[in-house]
Amino acid sequence: MRQDYDYLNYDSVKDRETIVNQTWNRDSSIVIFDELHKFRNWKSWIKGVYDTEGIRPRILVTGSAGLETFRKGGDSLAGRFFSYRLHPFTVREALSEFSPSKALDRLLSVGGFPEPFLKGSAAYAKRWRRGHGDVILREDLLDLERVREIKGMEILVSLLASRVGAGCSYSSLSRDLQVSVPTVKHWLQILENLCFIFPVRPWHKNISRSLLKEPKYFLYDTGSVRGDYGARLENVVACALLRELHMLEDSTGSRVGLYYLRDKEGREVDFLVVIDDRPVCMVEVKWKESSVAPSLLYFKKFFSNIDIYQIVYDLERKKSTPHIRLWPAGEYLASLSYQTQ
């Protein structure tokens, strides 16, 4: 924070007293209430503060995924706030400390959550991740949902971590978990609400011979991905694209979407970026590939005025054709931004 602020965490006994008694510093430029959703009837309380004291000092309310869930119910705060989603680190955000390639390698190794990313230690990341998973599945989950099968949810998380970038078959997961398909879908929605996973769904408009397919799921924590570095790289790119799209949506109100392309013949492109119902970019991710993927050449004919990238981890220099650009993955992610849309 580049200004004077007052930070109060509801988990702290001392800070909690300050919040309840409303004795924070009114001369601060901004007051930060962290984990405020744990305060009973917090929305009515913050609404009262806003309505009686106005917008000075400004108020920033932060919290875990529970904050978003609780925000959707109860008293309305319409017209009183703007909501922003906070993502793990991306390559572009780490450029002040790392080169693009170094930042990418660290994301591939330990993921983008602050503690393991800043430490850079695989051993520390492994220990941190166990505790992080326990918090999500055994604390946040029980706060939000009445789920008895915690063990089943843990197995589902493990299965998703090993299938990143692959189509999600509900029936296959149902057999593996020995639960019904509706239960699988419910559990997936819970993990999505907890900001553990996010779906990338198929785009089907204006694509002849396309099929509606089940979504692919990616993890917000790339360090949890089980598989080769190709799957990890695809997850890093998915996280970066979603982060930029969410920032555009939260700051401008644009409607955004992240999709993939696939037809009946099995031709597939990893990502299609859509802004205000208009496809703006296709992205194919490769670990090692110096020639243009045939799927990009096929699908480009369905779109006009669209950026097309094939990003490659192991690529010595940029290449391009009249319609398609091949970029090193680190350089592409370092420049990725949709804020000018």
More confident call, 135 vs 201: 201
Cross-strand bridge partners of residue 275 = 256, 278
Q: How confident is the model at residue 72 (pLDDT cuts 50, 70, 90)?
A: low
Report the pLDDT value the prediction gives residue 276, as an integer from 0 to 100.
Answer: 93
Mean pLDDT on 229-238: 95
pLDDT at 209 > cutoff 80: no
Report the percentage of the chain scoring pLDDT > 90.
48
Report the pLDDT value the prediction gives residue 144, as an integer from 0 to 100.
Answer: 57
Report the pLDDT value the prediction gives residue 71, as an integer from 0 to 100.
Answer: 53
Mean pLDDT on 251-279: 92
pLDDT at 212 > cutoff 60: no
Distance CA 24, CA 15 (A): 9
Q: How confident is the model at residue 70 (pLDDT cuts 50, 70, 90)?
A: low
pTM comes to 0.88
- Longest CA–CA separation in the chain, Å: 65
Q: Which of 15-24, 63-72, 294-303, 314-323 has the lowest mean pLDDT?
A: 63-72
For residue 238, the surrounding DSSP H or E stretch is helix 229-252
More confident call, 9 vs 341: 9
Q: How confident is the model at residue 152 (pLDDT cuts 50, 70, 90)?
A: confident
Mean pLDDT on 24-45: 87
Q: Which residue has the tokens 């080169």?
A: 99
197: CB partners within 8 A, 6+ apart: 160, 188, 191, 217, 218, 219, 220
Q: How confident is the model at residue 275 (pLDDT cuts 50, 70, 90)?
A: very high
Contact 129, 116 (CB under 8 A): yes
Report the pLDDT value the prediction gives residue 211, as an integer from 0 to 100.
Answer: 53
User: Highest mean pLDDT range out of 180-194, 195-209, 232-246?
Assistant: 232-246
Q: Which residue has the tokens 């002849």?
A: 208
Report the pLDDT value the prediction gives residue 65, as an integer from 0 to 100.
Answer: 67
